[in-house]
């Protein structure tokens, strides 16, 4: 396990050990205890250039099962870890494009299979680029490892039954992190994206709309802890509740899951990766349209 980035400690986050700065990464490029993992929406961005030593984990081809709508299983995860040279005690630092959407998505899955030391490079690719730090096209060849994954952690992943149970219990702490247009039902996907993926538009009945981007600064870094607290508590998403975040396919909500879980320290927060593409197509699922939760 690599040393912590102690420059994060004065930011007031519940788990500052989950973040590293771009400078920390630059200082640890040759640290054998650290493995940088790049996960992007742009599927060839890694090939265009990546941080020296970083490996690519493609959210689609590496993390998804090819047949079932599910993630790779434990054995496949172990094979992936071996292939990219990650051991059980490796410090894995994630970064990527789009404000670390897919970086936090990959981190979430790594946690799902019990990898202990996972961190996010705050600001992602954009900040590294903005600071004029270098890229390389050299694909590293890290020695393969023997990796033993843990059983999947059900406490961070929600399924549709879990969402329904929250609704049935009343006053559900559901966070819809999509854009207001998607939440109200005006669009099935973010502006400009193909309007596909669900049979119905709207939001899960009872969900609050807190777009993921409200947790990010303009440079892609996470907003100050006080602002994050105000953002979520102001919408009734308090740390005492059982919280489930969702979006369209679970990538944007991974960003929010990370914020709630590690920056604000909520004990019970899950990511619903089925998200709107599932809920919006389920027969008789409770849906609401318009700007209000109900």
Partner 1 sequence: MDRQQYIEYILDHHDNPRNKGRLDPADIQLGGGNPGCGDLITMYLRFDENDRITDIRYEGEGCTISQAGGSIIAELAEGLTAAEVAELGTHTMNEEMGAEVVKSRVRCATLALGTLQAAAKLYMTNKERVAQGLPPVDVPSGQFAVEV
Closest CB to partner 1 among residues 42, 171: 42
Residue among 5 and 97 whose Cβ is closer to partner 1: 97
User: Least distance (Å) from partner 1 to the CB of residue 286?
Assistant: 28
Distance CA 284, CA 230 (A): 34
In the annotation, is 247 catalytic? yes
Q: How far is the CB of 191 from partner 1 (least distance, A)?
A: 4
CB-nearer residue toward partner 1: 137 or 284:
137
Instruction: Count other C-beta atoms under 10 Å from residue 70's C-beta.
Output: 10
Q: Hey, is 78 helix, strand or coil? A: helix
Other Cβ atoms closer than 10 A to 290? 12
What lies within 8 Å, CB to CB, of 237 at 6+ separation is 173, 175, 208, 210, 243, 260
Q: Which residue's CB is nearer to partner 1, number 40 or number 176?
A: 40
Environment class of 121 (CB within 10 Å of its CB; exposed 0-12, middle 13-18, buried 19+): buried
Interface ranges with partner 1 (CB under 8 A):
41-45, 47-48, 60-61, 137, 190-194
CB of 133 to partner 1, least distance (A): 19
Q: Is the CB of residue 197 less than 8 Å from the CB of residue 248? A: yes
Which one from 20, 247, 259, 260 is the annotated catalytic residue?
247
Q: To the nearest 10°, report the CA torsion of 114, 63, 17, 146.
A: 50
| CA 155, chain centre distance (Å) | 15
- Least distance (Å) from partner 1 to the CB of residue 223? 22
Catalytic annotation, residues = 247
């Amino acid at each position: 396990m690599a040393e912590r980035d102690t420059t994060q400690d004065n930011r007031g986050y519940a788990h500052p050990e989950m973040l590293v700065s771009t400078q920390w990464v630059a200082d640890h490029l040759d640290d054998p205890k650290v493995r940088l993992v790049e996960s992007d929406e742009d599927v060839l961005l890694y090939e265009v250039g990546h941080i020296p030593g970083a490996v690519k984990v493609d959210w689609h081809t590496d993390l998804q099962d090819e047949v079932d709508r599910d993630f790779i299983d434990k054995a496949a995860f172990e094979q992936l870890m071996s292939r990219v040279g990650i051991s059980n005690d490796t410090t894995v630092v994630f970064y990527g494009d789009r404000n670390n959407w897919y970086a936090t998505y990959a981190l979430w899955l790594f946690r799902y299979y019990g990898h202990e030391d996972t961190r996010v490079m705050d600001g992602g690719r954009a900040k590294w680029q903005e600071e004029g730090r270098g890229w390389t096209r050299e694909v590293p060849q890290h020695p393969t490892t023997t990796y033993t994954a843990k059983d999947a952690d059900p406490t961070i992943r929600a399924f549709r039954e879990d969402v329904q149970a929250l609704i049935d219990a009343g006053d559900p702490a559901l966070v819809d992190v999509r854009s207001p247009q998607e939440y109200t039902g005006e669009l099935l996907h973010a502006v400009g994206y193909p309007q596909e993926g669900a049979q119905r538009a709207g939001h899960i009945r009872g969900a609050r709309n807190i777009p993921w981007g409200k947790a990010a600064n303009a440079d892609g870094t996470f907003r100050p802890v006080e602002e994050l607290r105000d953002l979520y508590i102001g919408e009734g998403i308090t740390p005492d509740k059982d919280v489930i975040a969702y979006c369209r396919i679970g990538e944007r909500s991974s960003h929010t899951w990370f914020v709630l879980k590690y920056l604000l320290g909520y004990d019970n927060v899950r990511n619903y990766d089925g998200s709107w593409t599932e809920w919006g197509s389920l027969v008789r699922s409770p849906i609401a349209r318009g700007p209000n939760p109900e």
